[in-house]
Structure formats: structure tokens, C-alpha cells
Amino acid sequence: MKTQDSADLCYPQIHNNSCKKPSSPWTEVVVVQIILSLISLITVALNLLVIISVSHFRQLHTPTNIFLLSLAVSDLLVGFISMPGEIYRTTSCWFLGDNICFIYNYLCFIITAASIGNMVLISIDRYVAICDPLHYQTRVTERSVKVYVCLCWLCSVCYSIPFIKDDLFQTGRNNSCYGECVTAIDSITATLDLVITFIAPVTIIVVLYMRVFVVAVSQARAMRSQVIAVKLQLSVTTTANKSELKAARTLGVLVLVFLLCFCPYYCFSLAGEDSFNSTTMSFMYHLFYFNSCINPIIYALFYPWFRITAKLIVTLKILKPGSCEAQIL
């Protein structure tokens, strides 16, 4: 009986302090690992296409696309770090040690905070573009956008420190047994996190996009009912307005999908982890991460330039001299 018990432990040699191996059938574990690993690979590949597209082609160097580039970087890191780590942690014992566990948890907090920050920045960008188009070109420049993006990532790095403060002094102190990788958050920090990374961002995003929707509808009506006397005056801005409205619709879909994947995770946190079994918890995590795979698909569906650049990248035509100057739009 003792031999059988030892076989079920992550570290049989440490019988008293070892965690138990996951009890799921090995066939189920293999299938889950294969499916989730494929999603992780697709997430990395698609977001890499977005990053190369926006970085390489000069015509795509616009303020809005810089925000999309930052979001693609965070999505790439989700597929490269967060998803594989979560797959490994939930389907097997953690054999990588406490230090790697600490680094992994810290990176996950940074990536999550940066993703949320990027979504808020995208919403603000669309709000200014639609609601204050006359000042958009002067207020939102490539230089200012790069500063905002850098601040977003810097704030994410600093903001994530309180979540891993216990492990800063003693790595693995929150693990109840060997073979586990967890981090504990006190109630005060958890409440602040709920407000800062869920309630406040969701409120800002929803309010801004409601305002954008109202203004976009009024602009569309104005363009349809414009009088002949001012037709010449508006002809210069009509094309730009249509472009901005299309971008607002596309990024609106992006934000909506983000909220659909994002809200269940935090609603689960509000209800308390004890209210759900481990399978439901794992599903919530992966649903949150799955958003990073959906974003590039949204680009492919709504942005013709992404389909064009992806084809040029896959066929290696970007290696030709002067390819960065190609007419994409």
C-alpha cells in the first residue's frame, strides 16, 4: 500500500511533504495538453505576424497600430509564457523549482496588467479620434503613443510587485507541498487588484465606447444629411471620418471579445475560488488567455492590411530590399 501511495506522489523520496500527482486519466491529460499546446503555438505565430507587420512596414507606423503592437506583444507573451506554464502547472507536478515558479508568477501578473492597460489605451485612442477629431493629430502622435505604451509596461512591472512580495523574501513559502507552484494574495491586495484591474478598466472601457457609439451614430447621420453648401468643406474630412468609424467598429469588436473572455475570470474571483472546482478554475484561466489567440483573428477578419502583410511575411517577400516601403493600405 505504501508503494502505491509513493507512486502517486510528485516526490516519492519526500513522502510526508510531497504533493500528489494530478488524478486525471493520462489519456485525458495528453489530449488536453495537445489541444492547449496547439492553441499556444497558434497564439504565438499569429501575434508574431502582427508584430512583424506593424514593425516592418512603414505605412503601418500609426499611433493606433502602435497600441495594437503593444497588445500583440502582451498576447505573444501569453502564448509563449502564461499558457504553457498554466498547462504544465495544471496537468503535472511542478518540477522546475521555487525560483522558476516565482519568475513565472511575476511575469504572468505583468502580462495580465499590461494587456488590460493596452485595452484601456486603445479605448482612449478611439474616444479621442471619434469625439475630438480636430485635435487628434496633435494630441495623439507616434512619440506620445510610444511614451504611453512604455509607461503602461513600466506601471505593470511596478504594479505586480505586491502580488509576489512574499516570495521576494522566501520563494515557495506559499506552496503547501513540494511539486506545487502557487502564490498567495492577502485580502487587501486582492480587493485593490479587483478595483484596479477589473472594475475601473471595465468602467472606463464601457463608458468611453458608449460615448464613441453615440458620437459615431451622430457623425454617420450628419454625413448622410450634409447640405450641398458645405459639401466641399466636408469632403476633405469625410474619408477620414469613415476610416476612423471603421477603426472604431473593429476595435470595438476587439474590446467586446476581451470583456467576454476577461469578465468570467474576475467574476469567478469575486465569487471566491472555493465556490468552484479545479476544472472550472482551469477553464476560467484558459478562457482569459484564449483572448490572446482571438485578437489576431479579429485583425485578419477586419483589417485587409493584416491579410496582405501576413502573406508577404509567410512568402518571405519582406526579405526583399525596400519591402518596408510597400503600399499596404
pLDDT, tens only, 250-274: 767 877 888 888 888 777 766 665 5
Cα angle, residue 152 at apex, residues 104 and 53 outer, rounded to 5°: 85
Model confidence over 51-100: pLDDT tens digits?
Answer: 999 999 999 999 989 999 999 999 999 999 999 998 888 888 888 888 89
Mean pLDDT of 272-283: 62
Domains of the chain, start order: 26-325 (1.20.1070.10)
* CA distance linking residue 231 with residue 252, whole number of Å: 29
**Considering the chain, what percentage of its residues have pLDDT values greater than 90?**
29
Q: What band does 48 get if pLDDT is binned at 50, 70 and 90?
A: very high
Residue type at 266 in one-letter notation: Y
pLDDT given at position 236: 44
DSSP state of 21: P
Mean pLDDT of 188-192: 84
Tens of pLDDT, residues 96-143: 888 899 999 999 999 999 999 998 998 899 888 888 888 888 888 999
CA distance linking residue 298 with residue 317, whole number of Å = 24
Query: Would you give the distance in Å from CA 305 to the centre of its chain?
Result: 21
Q: How high is the pLDDT of residue 146?
A: 95
Instruction: Residue 188: name the closest of 166, 163, 160, 168 by CA.
Output: 163
The confidence band for 278, taking pLDDT boundaries of 50, 70 and 90, is: low
Cell of 137: 493629430
